[in-house]
Structure 1
Amino acid sequence: MEQQSSSEGAKNQSDETDYQAPKSGSTLKKQLNLLLIALSFFTRIPVPSWVEFDSEKLNQASRYFGVIGLLVGSLSAAVFWASQFVLPNGVAVILAMITGVLITGGFHEDGLADTADGFGGGWKVADKLRIMKDSRIGTYGTLALVLCLLLKWQLLVEIALYSPINAVIAIVVAHGLSRVLAGSIIFSGQYVTEDDGSKSKPLAQHQHINDLLILCLSGFVVLACLNGVIAFGLLLLLVLLRQVLIWGGNRQIGGYTGDTLGAAQQIAELVCYGAILVIGLH
């Protein structure tokens, strides 16, 4: 009996150990799952079939939007750095921009065009939302997209004239910080949609304070790698821009949509390039 009791005790202890051991592993797997959800949502990069998707996980995945931005920026910057050795800076910048569009599928650029069409062509909120979910692009969207891409190209070419490495840093920084800004709007804004038939993919509609803090942490890590002047300048500009974008979204449609977040990312990316060009990275 004592032997049996001892054996059962050992078994129970073993079972307890088996139950507790996966906790750290399961936490890491959960975070990896959230990271891959963010990756699949914002890029065309394939993810493993075991990744679990649902609306709550998508909300939590917003914490890694900045990390995905850094990945996209790093790949785009790598293309620029490699191509500028054999091609003019202007061509190298275009190749870097094409790389970013191919990786994301033009996800944010589409949001910018739809937002411009909706805000420019609609009078009532319902009209704006209806126009924004239309797959066709209008005059306002075309102008916004063309001018945004031209300005992005020109700013990066000017930065590269000072130093190609400055352009590399600018691409990575702007992609990362712009997605942090866009993702943080989810915490403060109200998600709005005309109906369930929207052409947009499902979007994170709520953000817990922990998700916001992790998201902002990725942005602060980027800023910490820059010198104090440019870091402070970028932080100040992006905080002000965030408030303006939230105010604009509330005024136009009463909150945000996936399209307005895409527009926010594109605008924030331009602001980052402009600030880096004016303030400099030295």
Structure 2
Amino acid sequence: MMKNFATGLLLCFQFFTAIPVKKQLPLTAKSVTAMYANMPFLGLLMGVTSICIIQINEHFFHFSTLLLAILLIITSIIITGGLHVDGLIDTGDAFFSYKDQQKRLDILDDPRVGAFGVLTIVCALLLKLGFFYEALTRDVHLFYFIAIPLLARLAMLFYFVTMKTAKTTGLAAYFKGLVNAKQILLICTLFLLVLLGVAIYFGQWNMFILALFMLVIIVLYRHWTKKNFGGMTGDLLGALYEGTEIILWAMLLLFI
């Protein structure tokens, strides 16, 4: 069991981050399931990294709030290797092409970046920059810098195991065929319960609203992707992560 956990963690770093793992690892049903089971820990890593940067800046560098917000965004992109950002760009290109489902899927596979993809990512990064700036200015509890990336990871996993793939080819379809969906759903539920327990400890009751809204996002995104793409792809997973983070920050800062 520990061996599968370690293998899954390394696979998680190998496929979903820029952290170099130069080792040939087995892609079996158990190891792939373990890889996805470890994805919430990646959300924790990103959140903890953000908090460390905030604390280091507070005690040593004293950069402006704007520069600190920019550094947080750049750091998250560096850790993931821009994987989710790339997915959002491709999704923007495909959706705003206003083509049929098959043409949109073809655009997702196209490595070139179009104008709509550029506009999508510029708007997304500006929104994230603005929300980080507001969160830092308002002294929002540091708990949310861990909670929101973790909720975004959980949203990806819930969506991944409950949504059919749009294509029979590609990594998403390949991994979908190997992963044990029931185990992933159980692990996601446990992570969510632990996160809510920590929120109670810190007295952050807004977390319950964010968790509920995360589930609403999944339901709406399932409907949207099924209608416009016919199912799930790796790029759509990346877009879900970025979009969920932005929407949850917006909910926390603007409406709760």
> What's the TM-score, normalizing by structure 2?
0.88
Q: Which has the larger radius of gyration?
A: 1
Paired residue secondary structure (1:204) = helix
Q: CA RMSD in A?
A: 2.2
Would you say the 8 A contact 2:9–2:34 is kept in 1? Answer: no
Once residues 70 and 187 of structure 1 are traced to their aligned partners in structure 2, the CA distance between those partners, rounded to angstroms, is: 21
Would you say the 8 A contact 1:84–1:92 is kept in 2? Answer: no
Which residues in structure 2 correspond to 1:102-251 (within 5 Å)?
102-163=78-139, 166=141, 168-193=142-167, 196=169, 204-205=175-176, 206-226=179-199, 227=203, 229-251=205-227
Once residues 126 and 56 of structure 1 are traced to their aligned partners in structure 2, the CA distance between those partners, rounded to angstroms, is: 32
Q: Does 1:64 align with 2:38?
A: yes
Moved more, 250-259 or 83-92: 83-92
Moved more, 224-233 or 97-106: 224-233
Match of 1:256 among 202, 217, 232: 232
Shift of 1:114: 0.5
The 1:148–1:251 alpha-carbon spacing in structure 2 relative to 1, beyond 3 Å, is: same
Moved over 6 A (4+): none
Q: Deviations over 1:145-196 (max 9, x none)?
A: 0111111111111111121x63x43322111110110111112100122x74
Moved more, 56-65 or 248-257: 56-65
Would you say the 8 A contact 1:114–1:141 is kept in 2? Answer: yes
Would you say the 8 A contact 1:189–1:255 is kept in 2? Answer: yes
Once residues 166 and 4 of structure 2 are traced to their aligned partners in structure 1, the CA distance between those partners, rounded to angstroms, is: 28
Would you say the 8 A contact 1:58–1:203 is kept in 2? Answer: no
Q: Look up the match of 1:16.
A: none
Shift of 1:69: 1.2
One-letter amino acid of the counterpart of residue 206, structure 2: I
Calculate percent identity across the aligned residue pairs. Answer: 26
Once residues 247 and 157 of structure 2 are traced to their aligned partners in structure 1, the CA distance between those partners, rounded to angstroms, is: 16
Shift of 1:54: 4.1
Q: Look up the match of 1:14.
A: none
Once residues 50 and 142 of structure 1 are traced to their aligned partners in structure 2, the CA distance between those partners, rounded to angstroms, is: 35
One-letter amino acid of the counterpart of residue 130, structure 1: D
Q: Gaps spanning 5+ residues in structure 2: where?
A: none
Q: Look up the match of 1:12.
A: none
How many aligned residue pairs are there?
249
Once residues 84 and 204 of structure 1 are traced to their aligned partners in structure 2, the CA distance between those partners, rounded to angstroms, is: 42
Would you say the 8 A contact 1:178–1:269 is kept in 2? Answer: yes
Once residues 248 and 30 of structure 2 are traced to their aligned partners in structure 1, the CA distance between those partners, rounded to angstroms, is: 31
Would you say the 8 A contact 1:73–1:175 is kept in 2? Answer: yes
Would you say the 8 A contact 2:93–2:107 is kept in 1? Answer: yes
Moved more, 212-221 or 250-259: 212-221
Shift of 1:207: 4.3
Paired residue secondary structure (2:26) = coil
Q: Look up the match of 1:39.
A: 13
Paired residue secondary structure (1:225) = helix
Shift of 1:59: 4.1
Once residues 266 and 217 of structure 1 are traced to their aligned partners in structure 2, the CA distance between those partners, rounded to angstroms, is: 23
Shift of 1:61: 2.0
Would you say the 8 A contact 2:165–2:173 is kept in 1? Answer: no
